[in-house]
Amino acid sequence: MVVDHQKEEEFKKKDIMARYTGPKTKISRKFGEPIFGADKSFEKKNYPPGQHGINKRRQKKSEYAIQLMEKQKAKFLYGILEKQFRNLFEKASRSKGITGEVLLQLCESRLDNVVFRMGLSKSRRGARQLVSHEHIQVNGKVCNIASRTIKVGDVVGVREKSKSLSIIEESLSTNESVYEWITWDNNKMEGVLNNIPTREQITENIKEQLIVELYSK
């Protein structure tokens, strides 16, 4: 368990990496899957950093380490820092629904994630930048808070003077994703959150029960 706690301290020191700006492949290799989407570099080296070759024996991980890694994966994927993530968990645990499922629904309801899902950016990182640079509005008013919870019926779109941004136009032109819980109007460059996605509609490979077990210790 000493090793596990050392690993936790290491993660705490690097918590800022939830907003990681370095090579995405390195993080994907840490978790053993391309968590940021298709990655040709990952396909060539789909083993952890520091491990020279795919056949090198890996040290067996404890239950605690597995749970910790799953939490870190979710944080990296959604770009959420520890304090915010724990707050979301506590909010989910107070809800009437299944804690793990509600936790993911809260992550999906963040403004930066909704902007990403609407196709305005090719990544959640890019979506956060659009929000922080005040290119996005909610219900007709500019909002620069990426962590804002979007509610059913809220209208999220691009502010008028930002509609000609090439980075937004390029992302929309190549976006092929369609989500049942979002209605998008390409002419107005805005969309509506129709409902909170069910667990089946959230495609990210996250074992949320492991996160619940970790926080419940």
Give yes or no on whether 2-106+205-215 and 110-195 have one common fold: no
Q: Where are the domains of the chain?
A: 2-106+205-215, 110-195
One digit per residue, the tens of pLDDT, for the chain of length 217 reads 444 555 455 544 444 445 555 565 566 565 566 655 555 554 555 556 555 555 555 678 899 999 999 999 999 999 999 999 999 999 999 999 999 999 999 999 999 999 999 999 999 999 999 999 999 999 999 999 999 999 999 999 999 999 999 999 999 999 999 999 999 999 999 999 999 999 999 999 999 999 999 999 8
Task: Select 110-195's CATH number: 3.65.10.10, 1.10.357.10, 1.10.10.10, 3.10.290.10.
Answer: 3.10.290.10
Asked if 182 and 193 count as a contact pair (C-beta separation under 8 A), the reply is yes
Q: Which residue is listed with tokens 């008013």?
A: 141
What's the pTM? 0.78
In angstroms, the first-to-last Cα distance of the chain is 14
Residues 6+ apart with CB under 8 A from 171: 119, 120, 121, 122, 126
**3-state class of 110 per DSSP?**
strand
The Cα–Cα gap between 2 and 13 comes to 17
CATH superfamily for 2-106+205-215 is Ribosomal protein S4/S9, N-terminal domain (1.10.1050.10)
Alpha helices in 94-207 (DSSP H): 99-108, 111-117, 124-132, 166-174
